[in-house]
Amino acid sequence: MADGLWWLPSLLVFGGAAVAFVAAIVGVRRLGRRRELADLEGGRAAEVRAKQLIVETDERVREARREIAFAEAQFGAEAARPVREASERAERWLREAFLLQQRLDDAEPDTAAERRSWSERIAGLCTSALGALDQAEQALGARRAAERGAGATLAELPETAARLGRRRADAAAALDRLGTRFRPTALVGGRAALDRVDLSLAAAGAALAATGPAAGAGDAERAARIAADLDRAAADLDAIDRLELELADAERAAEQGMRRLDAELVDARRQRDALSEPEDARALGEAIAGVAELIGGAAAASAATELPDPFAERDRLDAALDRLEAARAEARTAQARLDGARSALGGALAIAESQLGVARALVERGRGLVGAGARTRLAEAERQLVIARQEPDPVAALDAARRAAARAADAEALASWDAGAGRR
């Protein structure tokens, strides 16, 4: 009996080894998953920092655009070129950072190493963009400092700050007055400009308070910074002053857009009724219905005496007009394709029938010399010709007629070859 169980110890040894091996594999996999989760959790701080840098860089790029416009007005396009070039570089880096952030935010699973690498790349791109903007703004500040005399400027700046403070109060009152006529959404840009004015005036006021009465070695640079803050405040106040005119322009543009849209709707309905393809007419009809619904909603809002937002209304009408024009262009293209197919179909059928007649005659003359290839292509040409005659869609019918002519030409060539080879 004992001799019959000689294999049992070996089985126990190998079985234990197998169990240990499987347990080791499972343990390694679990350890790997735990490490991956730990790495992902450890990278959260880098991802949060990357998002903060994206927001900061995007805001700085937007500020740089405003700074470019102001510098061009103050010194000319050539003087503003360094800031413009730095802004363009920063925008390129920011676009790449946005693409990487999109990868981090999408639903595709990423490894901890990938997420860490992308976050570090975002941080590097944003840091480079911020550095480029800082250098350009420092150069522009030096230009402003060179344009001013330090002593005279420091003496004039408090009065400039006070004058801008009075303008700020007038601008706030103007925004409140406009708020009784327009929706808050129409004044978002003006409110944001007023907030920037407050920040600029606060920075200038703090710097002026820290400046002593006597001129010092660093007064030129300090005066340039204060003057830059005041200049930015003045530019934002100018933008608020223009807001009422811009709202009036947007109202006129919205009225013109509504009249143009009404005329386009009339033409679009005529075009829809003239379309011969039901599917094309349905698609254009849906676009017309969407635009008509938009006009009806605008009329209902006006009847309900809601405050208007001319900017949003103008943009909404422009978008609706673009959609309607795109739908009409697509319908015109489809109709032109149908009309072209109809005009070409008769000639294509005649060519196919003529080519078929030649191929049939060759097959009949060749008799048994003509092989299966020529006969198969002849049969396919005849089938395609039947399809072309019965197909209601002129485009599909034209394609079938052209296929019939091509197959008939192939049949003719093969039949001619077979008959010639048989005679030799």
In the numeric block, the tokens 């204060």 are attached to 226
Measured CA to CA, the distance from residue 341 to residue 354 in angstroms comes to 19
| Mean of the per-residue pLDDT values of the chain | 81
The number of folded domains in the chain is: 5
Residues 48 and 138 occupy one common structural domain: yes
How confident is the model at residue 298, as a pLDDT? 64
Residues 212 and 154 occupy one common structural domain: yes
How confident is the model at residue 371, as a pLDDT? 86
Residues 396 and 322 occupy one common structural domain: no
How confident is the model at residue 1, as a pLDDT? 46
How confident is the model at residue 270, as a pLDDT? 87
Say if CB 237 and CB 196 are below 8 A apart: no
How confident is the model at residue 30, as a pLDDT? 61
Residues 299 and 327 occupy one common structural domain: yes
Task: Among 241, 276, 294, give the residue marking a domain's end.
Answer: 241
How confident is the model at residue 115, as a pLDDT? 83
Task: Among 223, 241, 259, give the residue marking a domain's end.
Answer: 241
The verdict on residue 341 lying in a domain is no
Residues 93 and 131 occupy one common structural domain: yes
The verdict on residue 185 lying in a domain is yes
Measured CA to CA, the distance from residue 19 to residue 39 in angstroms comes to 30
Closest CA to 358 of 399, 410, 400: 410
Q: Which residues contact 401 (CB under 8 A, 6 or more apart)?
A: 345, 348, 349, 351, 352, 384, 385, 388
The verdict on residue 277 lying in a domain is yes
How confident is the model at residue 170, as a pLDDT? 94
**Count of helix runs (H) and strand runs (E) in the chain:** 11, 0
Closest CA to 65 of 83, 92, 52: 83
Residues 136 and 54 occupy one common structural domain: yes
Task: Among 218, 241, 264, give the residue marking a domain's end.
Answer: 241
Residues 233 and 273 occupy one common structural domain: no
Residues 47 and 98 occupy one common structural domain: yes
Say if CB 118 and CB 104 are below 8 A apart: yes
Residues 47 and 142 occupy one common structural domain: yes
Rounded to a whole number of angstroms, the distance between the first and last alpha carbons of the chain is 90
Indicate if the alpha-carbon torsion angle 233, 238, 241, 242 is positive or negative.
Answer: negative
The verdict on residue 158 lying in a domain is yes
Residues 318 and 413 occupy one common structural domain: no
The verdict on residue 2 lying in a domain is no
Say if CB 223 and CB 154 are below 8 A apart: yes
Q: Which residues contact 335 (CB under 8 A, 6 or more apart)?
A: 274, 275, 276, 277, 280
The verdict on residue 79 lying in a domain is yes
How confident is the model at residue 297, as a pLDDT? 67
Return averaged pLDDT per consecutive 10 residues of the chain, 424 residues in all.
57 66 62 53 77 88 83 79 88 92 80 84 92 82 63 74 93 94 91 91 88 57 79 88 92 89 87 79 83 71 72 86 84 80 87 89 82 89 92 88 92 84 50
Measured CA to CA, the distance from residue 72 to residue 79 in angstroms comes to 7
Measured CA to CA, the distance from residue 113 to residue 298 in angstroms comes to 52
Residues 205 and 133 occupy one common structural domain: no
Closest CA to 362 of 420, 415, 417: 415
The verdict on residue 111 lying in a domain is yes
What are the tens digits of pLDDT across the range 246-264? 999 999 998 898 888 888 8
- Note down the domain range covering 166: 149-241
The verdict on residue 20 lying in a domain is yes
Residues 64 and 114 occupy one common structural domain: yes
Can you give 219-243 as a three-state secondary structure string?
Answer: HHHHHHHHHHHHHHHHHHHHHHHHH
